[in-house]
Amino acid sequence: MQKEKKVAFYTLGCKLNFSETSTIARNFKNEGFKRVDFEEEADIYVINTCSVTDNADKRFKTIVKNALKKNENAFIIAIGCYAQLKPEELAKVGGVDMVLGATEKFKVTDYINNLTKNEIGEVHSCEIEEANFYVGSYSIGDRTRAFLKVQDGCDYKCTYCTIPLARGISRSDTLENIVTNAKKIAEEGIKEIVLTGVNIGDYGKGEFGNKQHDHTFLDLVKALDEVDGIQRLRISSIEPNLLKNETIEFVSQSKRFVPHFHIPLQSGSNELLRSMKRRYQKELYTDRVKQIKSLMPDACIGVDVIVGFPGETDEIFLETYHFLNDLDISYLHVFTYSERPNTEAVEMDHVVPQNVRAKRSKMLRGLSVKKRRAFYESQLGNELSVLFEGENKNGTMFGFTENYVKVKTPFQEKLINTVHKIQLKEIDEDGVVVFDWVDETVLI
């Protein structure tokens, strides 16, 4: 009897990558493979790569080495954005046997004829123009919450970004298929779904293979709000120019969408926003934040910001710093600008020195700590619901409220993936909130 082959996965990057890894893992299972943890010995290791920052690129080699320590004869497959952008480069990394591009990754099991190691990795990678069809994905079983892919690709031409080169044009899943996938997730007992994609506010474009919008993002939100069995729906990153008032108003009154928004800003300088080819100015961003807070005063708002972009003088950086400091936001995701090949920004003048980028990044991360603390303090005394995660960290477990306040309590297995009513009490020395129980019985 043939021994069951084992496959393990490692995912770098965004929620979208996690949703696609989970779908690809299910394809392996359907072909008779057993999924194991990446830290275990496996016959195949699949690494889903990211290329948003230099750091993600560099981590790839380390991950390959770690896999080969578990099994020196393991078959190593690279997929994802870095695999599409630089397939030949990845194929030359010692130990890599196969590199699959943007469309090929969803047919990975078709490319595995045998598991004999290759001296140089085989490359199967399309031209990105061929990545014009949609493959639906969602994650289940990996985390308490599920990531549901609703859109892929991007038609924006931001001067710092390689994602359109790695993922192709903007295209969407059909509304019917997304609702079907949401119901499948609900049937697994998962309480929360996070909507994910490259540019989810552009949802509806390419839904049926054309370039028009057959549905809008608001149509999607309204349809998902009617799916029974899901306690929470969370919108991941959405462009400020695509987050319409109507969507904000609907979320404020919806049954399942939670008051949590993550909205990329990138810079608080209109001059730099123009240089980045962003499709808004900072005044529109301010308006989005005010609109959310006027309807949902307790809403959590996260912000993406890039530091060290070419042309960012001390004055422009301080303009961004003060703009963020004055905004009623909850936390920052700070990205230090890194030069990416085949982007407009890499050719720009007035390059910011690396040590200056690092200093500015540290300042904004400090501001993020201050903002998160202030937001948590504003929530103390409030009665909220918490969904508990599954991780046991030294006898402690964590959960998140609907508006994304992180809380902690002594680990109890029975609490995993359950929702409870609590009252936020105080912030501990780790910056996490402790609470009093309002209702220890499971809400749903």
**Confidence (pLDDT) at 275:** 98
Q: What is the CATH number of the domain that holds 155?
A: 3.30.750.210
**Do 145 and 207 share a domain, yes or no?**
yes
**Confidence (pLDDT) at 343:** 95
**Confidence (pLDDT) at 441:** 66
**Do 392 and 352 share a domain, yes or no?**
no
Does a structural domain hold residue 1?
Answer: no
Last residue of a domain, one of 71, 95, 126: 126
pLDDT digits (tens, 9 = 90+) for 356-381: 999 999 999 999 999 999 999 999 99
Distance CA(398)–CA(408), nearest Å, equals 4
Q: Given pLDDT bands bounded at 50, 70 and 90, which one contains residue 140?
A: confident
- How many domains does the structure of the chain reveal? 4
**Confidence (pLDDT) at 298:** 98
**Do 249 and 281 share a domain, yes or no?**
no
Highest mean pLDDT among 1-10, 202-211, 224-233: 224-233
Does a structural domain hold residue 444?
Answer: no
Q: What is the CATH number of the domain that holds 388?
A: 2.40.50
**Do 305 and 418 share a domain, yes or no?**
no
Does a structural domain hold residue 283?
Answer: yes
Q: Given pLDDT bands bounded at 50, 70 and 90, which one contains residue 120?
A: confident
Share of the chain above pLDDT 70, in %: 96
Q: Given pLDDT bands bounded at 50, 70 and 90, which one contains residue 130?
A: confident
Residue 158 has pLDDT above 50, yes or no: yes
Distance CA(163)–CA(50), nearest Å, equals 10
**Do 291 and 241 share a domain, yes or no?**
no
Residue 440 has pLDDT above 80, yes or no: no
Residue 2 has pLDDT above 60, yes or no: no
Q: Decide: pTM greater than 0.85.
A: yes
**240 CB neighbour count, 10 Å cutoff:** 23
- Are 28 and 109 spatial neighbours (Cβ–Cβ below 8 Å)? yes
Q: What does the pLDDT average to over 143-151?
A: 91
pLDDT digits (tens, 9 = 90+) for 183-218: 999 999 999 999 999 999 999 999 887 788 889 999
**Confidence (pLDDT) at 1:** 40
**Do 279 and 302 share a domain, yes or no?**
yes
Distance CA(238)–CA(204), nearest Å, equals 14
Range of the domain at 204: 131-258
Share of the chain above pLDDT 90, in %: 84
Residue 442 has pLDDT above 90, yes or no: no
Mean of pLDDT over the chain? 93
Q: What does the pLDDT average to over 87-93?
A: 91
pLDDT digits (tens, 9 = 90+) for 268-316: 999 999 999 999 999 999 999 999 999 999 999 999 999 999 999 999 9
**Do 224 and 329 share a domain, yes or no?**
no
**Do 247 and 154 share a domain, yes or no?**
yes
**Confidence (pLDDT) at 128:** 77
**Do 218 and 273 share a domain, yes or no?**
no
Does a structural domain hold residue 241?
Answer: yes
Residue 153 has pLDDT above 50, yes or no: yes
Does a structural domain hold residue 275?
Answer: yes
Last residue of a domain, one of 374, 397, 424: 374
Q: What does the pLDDT average to over 337-345?
A: 94
**Confidence (pLDDT) at 148:** 97
**Confidence (pLDDT) at 56:** 61
Residue 424 has pLDDT above 50, yes or no: yes
**Do 243 and 135 share a domain, yes or no?**
yes
